[in-house]
Amino acid sequence: MNRIDTSELAAWLDQTLQPGRFRDYCPNGLQVEGKASIGHIIAGVTASEALLRAAIARGADAVLVHHGWFWKNEDPRVRGTRRTRLALALAHDLNLFAYHLPLDAHPLLGNNAQLARVLGLQPDTDSTGAPRTCGADGLVWLGSAPGIQTFGQLAARVQERLHRAPQAIGDPERPIRRIAWCTGGAQGMLTEAVDAGADAYITGEISEPTVHLARETGVGFLAAGHHATERYGAQALGAAIAAQFNIRVDFVDIDNPV
């Protein structure tokens, strides 16, 4: 099995995802340093204890996730679940790579791009071929859904492709022409989607004010699940790593109903 230097992989990931472009809530990149070389990576959505134990059981050298550790404004003390996770990583010399907003936004490997692929959405693009976006750091993508005519049809496609029923706010008969989407917890960007002329907005989560804003603007809102909408970026990034460096990358999906 081929192996690469941990520093080489870290440099390639930073060059590919360009974390310096984003005002994020956590450090992006190599969050915990482990073995000096890597031949096997476990990719997943969140660096939970369950994912770490899966990596250890499979003899992996690194974990690659979207949701890592050390979030802004959280308690920095190393105790409880934080101690357990960190102890596992250190005891087994696991590298932990985590990319949050950079993995949402990447035009090919990111969560938004991959959700579009899974749902059959067609992103709008500019003259350079880059996706048209709105919102902070250009995180909300804009486009259409070929073959979809109504909000009800869009909700049905989301349920079919993501294998879970989304929470839908809006008139099922509303005509759909323009769609906005941002994976994960992006309900707070509904206003930007409305201002961009969207007829429907897809994200992962919903909160109480979101319902009123969707009803009062008439824009259809789909909360399709934070985890469900963000399963695909880590998979695509892992596949890109495997192709680039000829090392083993396995995606492990730790089920999460939220």
- Asked whether the beta carbons of 139 and 160 are under 8 A apart, the reply is no
Distance of CA 102 to the CA centre of its chain: 9
* Three-state DSSP class for residue 134: strand
Residue 2 is encoded by which pair of tokens? 């081929």
Enumerate the known binding-site residues for a divalent metal cation. Answer: 66-67, 104, 226, 230
Enumerate the known binding-site residues. Answer: 66-67, 104, 226, 230
Q: The dihedral of CA 168, 173, 174, 179: what is its sign?
A: positive
- Asked whether the beta carbons of 118 and 161 are under 8 A apart, the reply is yes
- Asked whether the beta carbons of 232 and 114 are under 8 A apart, the reply is yes
Q: The dihedral of CA 135, 140, 143, 146: what is its sign?
A: negative
Q: Report the largest interatomic distance among the alpha carbons of the chain, rounded to a whole angstrom.
A: 57
Residue 203 is encoded by which pair of tokens? 């994200």
